[in-house]
Amino acid sequence: MTFEQKGSERGSSAPAKVLPYHCGRLRGVCVEGYESLDLTTRPWEDLKARRVENHYLAKSSRTRCVVRLEYTPPGQPPRGIYAKRVLVRDWRKRFGCLFVPSKARHEWKAGYRLPAMGIATARPVVCAELWEGFWLVANFLVTEEIAGARAFDLELVQLRTLRERRALWKHFAEWLWQVHRRGFYHDDCSAQHIFVGPCDPAAPDARPPLAFIDLDNSRFYRGAVAWRRRVKNLFQVLRSISPKVASRVDRYHFVRCYLDASGETRRLREAVGRMRRLARAKQAEIHL
């Protein structure tokens, strides 16, 4: 999925055609072309111990596993996709899933709501759940890879000049304010969850497009996101980037650019102080 394709979906909050998804005991929905994608036979556990052809372990924890693989929808070219499995082991979370959507279902909805707001993200193509009686035991989400894009921190490493890095920081800060102004909040706003796409070859001076991934910890507000949550996102960005990639001057430049964009330039000291308190509370470093 390219940034150009995402732009074509901004007028709609739903995919072109959604079909029922049935795979073993899994039930859910999928985009046309993904009905035959089998999530039950993926080597979720084996990938932690050995390599499996066409499967790359992108992320793994006690309850989560994210795998990248190649998939070819019928009549379409092959593409990279990311399949995420979330196990629901805690009984309190299982009880909560009786009343609120699962993480996969929440991320599916957010993945189609964001483009309607003018914010790019990876397109969800499969959302499925595994229930045992009344209890949800696992949920799955598959998204298409954003072609030619890489994580924000990796993009910074590739830039050779100070001018290029400062320009990207400024662009990112202004984009993040627009995201907040439109009422979207990502509760895990790390540099690894923000992707930078390639510039249009026909417009080499254009700014690179930006996109969010991993939307299961996200919220939508009717108005702009509250100050404390916006500062928390700034903190999360700075915490996630190594001091080898971003200097102290770069970090101040990012915060200043954000506050300039939001019209809150005079709140720089307040923002920095709040981020430092968050860093102490979470025993993290933001290098400010």
Q: Which helix (H) or strand (E) holds 232?
A: helix 227-239
Going by pLDDT thresholds of 50, 70 and 90, the confidence category of residue 204 is low
pLDDT of 16 = 63
Average pLDDT over residues 261-283: 97
| Token pair for 111 | 């993945």
The yes-or-no verdict on residue 8 having pLDDT over 70 is no
* Position 190, amino acid: S
Q: For the segment 207-245, what is each residue's pLDDT rounded down to a tens digit? A: 899 999 999 889 999 999 999 999 999 999 999 999 999
The yes-or-no verdict on residue 9 having pLDDT over 80 is no
Residues 6+ apart with CB under 8 A from 76: 33
Q: Which CATH architecture has domain 150-281?
A: Orthogonal Bundle (1.10)
pLDDT of 100 = 92
| Contact criterion met (CB below 8 Å) for 177 and 258 | yes
* Position 260, amino acid: D
Q: Which is more confidently placed, 200 or 184?
A: 184
Going by pLDDT thresholds of 50, 70 and 90, the confidence category of residue 110 is very high
- The helix/strand/coil state of 91 is helix
Quickly count helices (H) and strands (E) in the chain. Answer: 8, 13
Greatest pairwise CA separation for the chain in angstroms? 58
Rounded distance between C-alpha atoms, residue 121 and residue 223, angstroms: 21
- The helix/strand/coil state of 100 is coil
Full strand arrangement of the beta sheet holding 210-212 = 120-121, 210-212, 194-196, 150-151
- The helix/strand/coil state of 97 is coil
Query: Any idea where the domains of the chain sit in the sequence?
Result: 3-144, 150-281
pLDDT of 168 = 96
Q: For the segment 42-89, what is each residue's pLDDT rounded down to a tens digit? A: 888 888 778 888 899 999 999 999 999 999 999 999 999 999 999 999
* Distance from chain centroid for Cα 23: 26
Going by pLDDT thresholds of 50, 70 and 90, the confidence category of residue 1 is very low
The yes-or-no verdict on residue 3 having pLDDT over 70 is no
Rounded distance between C-alpha atoms, residue 55 and residue 167, angstroms: 36
